[in-house]
Structures are given as structure tokens and as C-alpha cells.
Structure 1
Amino acid sequence: MTQTTLHTPDELDELIVQEKLQVALELQHDAWAESTADGIEPEIIADAAMIIAIRETVRALGEDQAEALVESLRGRIQAGEFSPERVLQ
């Protein structure tokens, strides 16, 4: 017999967000790999990705939200969130 795990609506929302994030990361990774295979340097790919991300954030959420996102990145970088050596558990 299988036991069903019940989640609250908030937990389900968070699971959906995490799944969407994982898909988006995989798509971005594929685009990065394709770009490097085409001979584009990583710095250029990163610059283009950030330009698009900020432009689309401004379009969707406004300049204040985009600025808040950019400001949050410094702390996240310093905390090691984006480190390739970071181990997720």
C-alpha cells in the first residue's frame, strides 16, 4: 500500500516554483552550452544573459523590483550561493 503525503497549499506552491526554477535552469544551461559550442566566450554569454534577465525583469515587474534583484545578488554571491563547489543537500 502506498502512503500519500499531504502538502499544504503553500507547500505545493513552493514545490511548483522549485520545479519551474529547475526547468528554467536546465534550459539556461543548454543555451549556455550551445553558445560556448558556437565559440562565444563565457563573459559575453554571461553579459548577454544578465542584460536579458534585467530587461525582462524591468518589463515584467518594474525598475524598482529589478534593482532590488540586482542588489540582492551581491549578498548571494558572497554567501556562496552560486559557487560551483557548493553542495546542495
Structure 2
Amino acid sequence: MITDEKLAELDEVIANEKRVAAREVHNEAWADGIVEGIDAAILAETAIATALEEMIRTEGEEAALELADTLRDRILSGEFLPYRTIQ
């Protein structure tokens, strides 16, 4: 019998696999944009705007605002640095 705990663990594994796949898709799109001569700052701004628009459409403004509120702290903590060390 599968317990609620096991189902929650499975859901987390699936969510992590989807995050990895999404990262790969985004990296490919980013590389394509760079090859096309689009500046990284323009790609970044557009990616963030597109993500927020989609989140508002599917989850609502509050969810998008909550995400935006957490981004500053995550940036300051170094979460997005390419050379960060995970402890």
C-alpha cells in the first residue's frame, strides 16, 4: 500500500524532474537567442516578463507577487550565482 508520505515523495521527485527538464528547455532557448544576437539583458527581462504573465494567467496576481517578493532575498543569498556553493 502506498502511503501519503510515499505519494508526497513521488510528487516531489516528479516536480524536480520537471524542473530539470524546464531548465534544459530554457537553456536551449537562451542559447538560440544569443546566437540570434539578442543581448542577455533583453533575454532576461523578456523571460521574467513572460514567466510573470503566465503565472498571473494561471495562478493569479497574488501568486506572481509572492514569487516576485521572494526573488530579492534569493538573489541576495546567492541562489542564482553560477559559481555558488551548496552547503
Question: How high is the TM-score relative to the length of structure 2?
Answer: 0.90
CA distance in 1, matches of 2:14, 2:85: 22
Higher helix share: 2
1:39-72: CA deviations, max 9, x gaps?
0000000011011000000000000110000111
Offset of residue 13 of structure 1: 0.5
User: What SS does the aligned partner of 1:85 have?
Assistant: coil
CA RMSD of aligned residues (A): 1.3
- Runs ≥4 in structure 1, deviation > 4 angstroms? none
What is the letter of the counterpart of residue 66 of structure 1?
A
The number of aligned residues is 83
Correspondence list, 1:3-18, <5 A: 8-18=6-16
What is the letter of the counterpart of residue 23 of structure 1?
A
Q: Does 1:31 align with 2:29?
A: yes
Offset of residue 25 of structure 1: 0.5
Offset of residue 8 of structure 1: 1.1
Offset of residue 87 of structure 1: 3.5
What is the letter of the counterpart of residue 84 of structure 2?
R
Offset of residue 88 of structure 1: 4.5
Question: How high is the TM-score relative to the length of structure 1?
Answer: 0.88
Correspondence list, 1:48-67, <5 A: 48-67=46-65
Offset of residue 83 of structure 1: 0.5
Structure 1, unaligned runs of 5 or more: 1-6
From 33, 40, 43, the counterpart of 1:42: 40
Offset of residue 86 of structure 1: 1.6
Q: Does 1:75 align with 2:82?
A: no
Identity of aligned residues (%): 41
